[in-house]
Every structure is written in structure tokens, then in C-alpha cells.
């Protein structure tokens, strides 16, 4: 089934959600697409799309044209499915999403879903640096037991998406949004956990990204020649602001090797994930203070 016309005809005949899913997956598999913005395969995207239809009382024959309309943009414009549907799932929670913010997909979800155990009790005060849609801050507030979560971003558009998600998830009593360049607007606040999925894509990799990534804000991805433009300040700031017993969780993706070269003596703990993903490190406050020689809690 190569064409959208064939797909629409097949959906018109498909009698069950499973048959819709098979027809959509078969169509997607014949296209040139990049997966990894919320589903990692044609089958995953087909299941997500049909689940979305089911939530709207479908799938029914009248929705065949809606599906082919969405898939036309998916194939011709390479728009990620999350932006087409206006939703993304992260740590088991639904998020509103649009091209003002990066599509949630960080492997940090696995740690957050466990309430940060066994690394930390998931209590006290948490800072999410570069919150985008708010997914990490909000999922942490939901799965953890924090008194307060500060969610910061330099981009007012991304914060507008985060605000939608705060009200949708009803977490406004715990999560506070702050528009600031990293720590600059946080006064002398200290934290039990600092967590961040900052921009970390090196310049050369930016140029080679599949077309799907070009629908996301470039400033949410690009981080200079080595992908480390934000990391020094995040590490130094965390050493100063983490409370005793506190922890930093930092995603640096493909910039991990460059980070190891820059800080050869720092004992980064590289985390492993059941659902895949790499380039995420953890550091304890005490280890950080030793390396950055800070004597302030």
C-alpha cells in the first residue's frame, strides 16, 4: 500500500482498531521517515494514532480522511506525529505539545517514574533546567513527593506550553515556572535535585539531523561545536546550589565523550535504561563540591 488513496480505501474497509493499526503501519513502513519523537517504529506510530482515534470514539470510516490528511503532512513535510496530534506521552502522563517546545522523549522518564529511587527519596525541592513543555518538572512533581518544583526556561514560547500542561495536570500548587537564563533568575535558592535535558547537539550533528527535527525549536537542540555550551555552567551552578545529600541528573546525549574528555577526573555515573537511551549522568552534591571546590550548601 504505497499511496494515501490506497490507505484511505483500506481504512474504509477495516473493521477493527487492529485492522486500522495494521493498515497504517504497513503504509508508514513504505515511506521514508525518522522515528524517535515519541514512538520508535512504524508500528509504534500506528498504535499511537489509532489510540488517539479511539479516544475520540473511533476508529470509524468517517475518520479515514482525517488520518490520511495527517499522514500526508507526516510524509510530505516530515512533521512528527506528536505535533500533528498535539500530544505527547512522557512518564505515563499526557502532555499538550506544539512546535513552540521540544517533543518530550528524554530517557530521564524512567528515573522520574521510579520517584528517583534508588538514587534519592524524591523529596524536598527540585529544579528542572530548560523545562520546554514542562514534561520533566511535571512528571517529577507527579511521581515524586516534592514540596516545590522550579521549572525554568529562557524561552517564553516554551513556557507558554509548560503553563498549558501545568493547568491540564493540575499541578500548579507545586510547580512554578521561571523565565531565566539557567540559574540567573533563581536568587540564592538551593535544591535537593537538579535535573536537566539541556540543548546538547554539536554543530556538525545539527546539520545532519533528519527533517523531523527541523520542526522543533533549533535553540532547544543546538549547543555549539562540541555540544557542551551549557554544561559548564550547569555543573558549576549545581555544585553551588545542591543541598547536602542532593543529586544532579544531566542528559548530554552524544556529547558524553566530549564531556569525559573535558573533565577526565570527575566520577560521572552513566545511567542505563531499560527502554533505551544513553548519555545521562548522575552526580552527588558531595562529589560535585569536591571537584568544583565550593563550600556552600
Ligand X SMILES: C[S@@+](CC[C@H](N)C(=O)[O-])C[C@H]1O[C@@H](n2cnc3c(N)ncnc32)[C@H](O)[C@@H]1O
User: Please, which residues bridge with residue 196 across strands?
Assistant: 129, 250
Q: Which is nearer to ligand X, 23 or 223 (CB)?
A: 223
Residue 276 CB, nearest approach to ligand X (Å): 16
User: Please, which residues bridge with residue 280 across strands?
Assistant: 251
Q: Which is nearer to ligand X, 23 or 109 (CB)?
A: 109
Residue 97 CB, nearest approach to ligand X (Å): 9
From the CB of residue 15, how many other CB atoms can be counted at a distance below 10 Å? 9
Give the three cell numbers for residue 127. 529544579
Q: Which is nearer to ligand X, 17 or 178 (CB)?
A: 178
Question: Which residue is it, cell 506550553?
Answer: 161
Q: Which is nearer to ligand X, 7 or 109 (CB)?
A: 109
Q: Which is nearer to ligand X, 100 or 289 (CB)?
A: 100
Q: Which chain residues interact with ligand X by CB under 6 A? A: 102, 104, 106, 130-133, 135-136, 152-155, 158, 181-182, 197-199, 219-220
Dihedral sign (CA 89, 91, 97, 103): negative
Residue 217 CB, nearest approach to ligand X (Å): 6
- Exposed, middle or buried by CB within 10 Å (0-12, 13-18, 19+), for 149? buried
Q: Which is nearer to ligand X, 14 or 221 (CB)?
A: 221
Q: Which is nearer to ligand X, 42 or 129 (CB)?
A: 129
Residue 205 CB, nearest approach to ligand X (Å): 13
Residue closest to 42 by CA, chosen among 56, 26, 64? 26
User: Please, which residues bridge with residue 96 across strands?
Assistant: 87
**DSSP letter assigned to residue 102:** P
Residue 182 CB, nearest approach to ligand X (Å): 4
Residue 79 CB, nearest approach to ligand X (Å): 17
Neighbouring residues of 265: CB distance < 8 A, sequence distance ≥ 6? 291
From the CB of residue 263, how many other CB atoms can be counted at a distance below 10 Å? 15
CB 103 within 8 A of CB 37: yes
Residue 109 CB, nearest approach to ligand X (Å): 9
Residue 203 CB, nearest approach to ligand X (Å): 15
Give the Cα separation of 215 and 217 in Å (integer): 7
Give the Cα separation of 195 and 142 in Å (integer): 15
Residue closest to 287 by CA, chosen among 254, 244, 258? 244
The backbone torsions φ and ψ at residue 220, rounded to the nearest 5 degrees and listed phi first, read -85, -10
Q: Which is nearer to ligand X, 11 or 111 (CB)?
A: 111
Amino acid at each position: 500500500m504505497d499511496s494515501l488513496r490506497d490507505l484511505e480505501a483500506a481504512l474504509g474497509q477495516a473493521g477493527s482498531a487492529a485492522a486500522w493499526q495494521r493498515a497504517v503501519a504497513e503504509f508508514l513502513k513504505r515511506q521514508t521517515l525518522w522515528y524517535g519523537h515519541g514512538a520508535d517504529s512504524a508500528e509504534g506510530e500506528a498504535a499511537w494514532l489509532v489510540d488517539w482515534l479511539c479516544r475520540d470514539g473511533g476508529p470509524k470510516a468517517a475518520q479515514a480522511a482525517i488520518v490520511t490528511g495527517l499522514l500526508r503532512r507526516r510524509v510530505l513535510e516530515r512533521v512528527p506525529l506528536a505535533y500533528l496530534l498535539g500530544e505527547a506521552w512522557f512518564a505515563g502522563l499526557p502532555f499538550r505539545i506544539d512546535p513552540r517546545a521540544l517533543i518530550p522523549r528524554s530517557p530521564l522518564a524512567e528515573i522520574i517514574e521510579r520517584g528517583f529511587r534508588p538514587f534519592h527519596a524524591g523529596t524536598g525541592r527540585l529544579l528542572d533546567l530548560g523545562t520546554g513543555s514542562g514534561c520533566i518538572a511535571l512528571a517529577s512533581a507527579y511521581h515524586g513527593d516534592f514540596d516545590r518544583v522550579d521549572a525554568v526556561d529562557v524561552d517564553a514560547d516554551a513556557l507558554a506550553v509548560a503553563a498549558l500542561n501545568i493547568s491540564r495536570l493540575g499541578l500548579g500548587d507545586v510547580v512554578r515556572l521561571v523565565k531565566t537564563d539557567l540559574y540567573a533568575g533563581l536568587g540564592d535558592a538551593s535544591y535537593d535535585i537538579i535535573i536537566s535535558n539541556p540543548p546538547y547537539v554539536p554543530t556538525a550533528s545539527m546539520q545532519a539531523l533528519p527533517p523531523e527535527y527541523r520542526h522543533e525549536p533549533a535553540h532547544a537542540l543546538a549547543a555549539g561545536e562540541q555540544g557542551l555550551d551549557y554544561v559548564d555552567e550547569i555543573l558549576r551552578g549545581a555544585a553551588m546550589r545542591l543541598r547536602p545529600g542532593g543529586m544532579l541528573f544531566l542528559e548530554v546525549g552524544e556529547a558524553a565523550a566530549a564531556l569525559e574528555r573535558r573533565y577526565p577526573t570527575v566520577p560521572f555515573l552513566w545511567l542505563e535504561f531499560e527502554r533505551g537511551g544513553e548519555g545521562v549522568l548522575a552526580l552527588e552534591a558531595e562529589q560535585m563540591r569536591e571537584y568544583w571546590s565550593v563550600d556552600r550548601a
